[in-house]
Amino acid sequence: MTGQGQLLIFGLGYTGTAIGVAAVSAGYAVTGTSRQPAFAAPAGITVIPFDAAESAIAIATHIVVTAAPDDGHDPVLARYGQAIAAAPDLRWIGYLSSTGVYGDRGGGWVDEDSAPAPTSRRATARRAAEEAWEAAAAARGTPLDLLRLAGIYGPGRSSFDDLRTGRARRIDKPGHAFGRIHRTDIAAGTLAAMAQAAALQGRRVLNFNDDLPAEPAQVVEEAARLLGVEPPPAVSFAEAEAAMSPMGRSFWAESRRVSSAKTQAALGYRWRYPTFHEGLRAILAESGEG
């Protein structure tokens, strides 16, 4: 075994890659799956095809799953459920889910102890995947962290990019506030959770959500201010809704405020970017424009 252990990440996408980079720096040997044949992973991460993960599962001490449900089923468990059940050294599983499983709360608050109440098709599939991982982890007696993520943003995926490409929209729907989470905090929070594996039992819920629920229009306005450009004109929700996709409508149909105070206390980690203000400034500074 190398360093802290053998981490297997199912899905080296935007978030999975950031977790992998942080884990390499922390001393883990990291392997990750990708469905892209030409995917070039950062230094220190071994890339394997999704359909060739048996050997990596057999030596994994930690598994992180970023893959979304496929046709209502978790693709990792569908393909590797038996191999994971038999993995001899596995001591922690982290499943990256969504705060969408809490459903619509009419702008009210939820926390880690709130019961899931998904309403959209995507959130219902996420909750079903959570339950499948709960059953799989319980059957082998391995600790499971359900990492429920808010809206993910970071370098290359923020309102700055939308403004630069002309895709930004400032939709006016007062009271429709929700949280976000910077990619750096997802990676650091996941590493903090992994480090606690030996002291964990059963299933734990962690909310990866920043400390300031805000309306999407506010974030666009702040990004425009930092760039020194005019924000796009405000559009009423009624006007914008007519052109939305079903996925877009499902997003705007729900409103909730998510607390992550218990998560930060449990992990002993305070978000590096507790609000979108700090997060946007950091992204701009990293780009060399701040």
Decide if 216 is inside a domain.
no
d(CA 225, CA 277): 11
- High-pLDDT (> 90) share of the chain, %: 86
Decide if 232 is inside a domain.
no
Q: Which run of H or E residues covers position 247?
A: helix 246-252
Please name the amino acid found at residue 288.
G
d(CA 279, CA 274): 8
Q: Which run of H or E residues covers position 238?
A: helix 237-241
- High-pLDDT (> 70) share of the chain, %: 99
d(CA 147, CA 207): 6
What pTM, to 2 d.p., does this model score? 0.96
Q: Which residues contact 246 (CB under 8 A, 6 or more apart)?
A: none
pLDDT tens column, 7-52: 999 999 999 999 999 999 999 999 999 998 888 889 999 999 999 9
Specify the 3-state DSSP secondary structure of 236.
strand
**Structural domain span for residue 186:** 5-153+180-210+258-273
Residue 277's CB is within 10 A of a number of other CB atoms, namely: 16
Decide if 194 is inside a domain.
yes
Exposure string for 22-43, b = 16+ CB within 10 A, e = fewer: bbbebebbbbbbbeeeeeebee
Decide if 249 is inside a domain.
no
Q: Which two tokens stand for residue 148?
A: 């429920």
Decide if 159 is inside a domain.
no
Q: Which CA distances in Å does 70 have to 86, 91, 134, 144, 245?
A: 23, 26, 18, 21, 20
- The number of domains in the chain is 1
Decide if 191 is inside a domain.
yes
Q: The CATH number of the domain where 198 resides is what?
A: 3.40.50.720
Q: Which two tokens stand for residue 236?
A: 């009423």
Decide if 229 is inside a domain.
no
Instruction: Please check the confidence at residue 2 and state whether its pLDDT lies above 70.
Output: no
Residue 121's CB is within 10 A of a number of other CB atoms, namely: 12
pLDDT tens column, 86-145: 999 999 999 999 999 999 999 999 999 999 999 999 999 999 999 999 999 999 999 999
Q: Which residues contact 189 (CB under 8 A, 6 or more apart)?
A: 147, 206, 208, 263, 267, 269, 271
The DSSP secondary-structure symbol of 279 reads H
Cα end-to-end span (Å), the chain? 42
Decide if 204 is inside a domain.
yes
